[in-house]
Amino acid sequence: MKMNKTPPISVPEPPKLLDQLRGRLRLKHYSIRTEVQYVQWVRRFILFHDKRHPQEMGAGEVESFLTHLAVSDKVASSTQNQALSALLFLYREVLEVDLPWLDNMVRAKRPARLPVVLTVQEVQAVLERMEGTHGLMARLLYGTGMRLMECVRLRVKDVDFARGEILVRDGKGAKDRVTMLPQRLIPALQEHLQRRRLLYEDDFVKGMASVYLPDALERKYLNAATGWVWQYIFVARSYSIDSRSGTERRHHMDEKLLQRAMKKAVLAAGLTKPATPHTLRHSFATHLLQAGYDIRTVQELLGHSDVATTMIYTHVLNKGGKGVISPLDHL
């Protein structure tokens, strides 16, 4: 009589370190961009130390890696601090290592830089050289004070034409805020939305109208992902694979396209300032202060948590060196 052999019990392998890192970042609701950057820094840290496991390393290895970034790679202080944040997250949240050196790591000191600000005439010269969707987006940046990614991620439901408002959702620091919708842009934005609606209807017929929804809303509201109000206003020309869900869908426009269009316009306008789309946000704040609006109002429109951050724009209110007339001009 033959005995039935019990099949061996298969024990699933524990997830790899980088997969654990991704899982923890998603549990903490970190953005996809932060996830990509943190995974990249942890991978570089491991490769720098000949593929040793971070569990076997400590303060010395972290400091030598950060020193290499600053001395050999000559990265900016903000980049070095981002690498440190990624490693601190790895040790605290993934490896659950509670070591005293985690609290004693010194971050690189960021230099105090004044923002690049364009004059009203310079802004006009740049915007006159930007047309189509990129021109509309650039005018929105200057007219509302939004950050680049806040503009790129705008959805149909975020624009209130009746109230003349734009609701900026999940901005920096995961905060919502309201900013104005410039009246001059309403006709152009409505026309753009009409064309966008036609593209949406074509995608809907193909079964490709689904968009990414945050915080499990796709499971809570089953039809919301294909609804018109959740659609991105500024979208890519083609479909792409969502890196988290693996779903093929039409994503929002790549912000690099607007950055390139802005760069071409700045060169065409003959400006010598290193202006980028973010410069339009700086110019928005500065020109409001010059127009006499109080700094608290500007702080709320920009979404700054501390008024000290907004105070940096007051440097342009005084011409020259703090408004002092040079003695050479008195000769």
CA diameter of the chain: 117
Catalytic residue among 249, 250, 281, 287: 281
Are 143 and 284 in contact, with CB atoms under 8 Å apart? yes
For 115, residues 6+ apart whose C-beta sits below 8 A from its C-beta are 279, 282, 312, 313
CA 171, 40, 219, 230 torsion: positive or negative?
A: positive
Active site residue 304: yes
Are 329 and 194 in contact, with CB atoms under 8 Å apart? no
Catalytic residue among 91, 142, 212, 313: 313
* Tokens of residue 201, six digits: 């209807």
Catalytic residue among 43, 44, 172, 263: 172
CB burial readout 170-180, b (16+ within 10 A) else e: ebeeeeebebe
3-state class of 298 per DSSP? helix
Active site residue 49: no
Half-sphere exposure (Cβ direction) of 148: Cα atoms closer than 13 Å: 15
Catalytic residue among 147, 177, 252, 282: 147
Of the candidates 215, 234, 238, the residue with the CA atom closest to the CA atom of residue 225? 215
| DSSP H or E segment with residue 67 | helix 59-71
* Tokens of residue 42, six digits: 């942890």
Catalytic residue among 24, 157, 273, 278: 278
Active site residue 278: yes
Active site residue 313: yes
In the chain the beta strands, taken as DSSP E runs, fall at: 159-160, 165-168, 177-180, 240-241, 248-249
d(C-alpha 11, C-alpha 186), whole Å:
60
Active site residue 53: no
Catalytic residue among 304, 315, 319, 322: 304
Which residues form the catalytic set?
147, 172, 278, 281, 304, 313
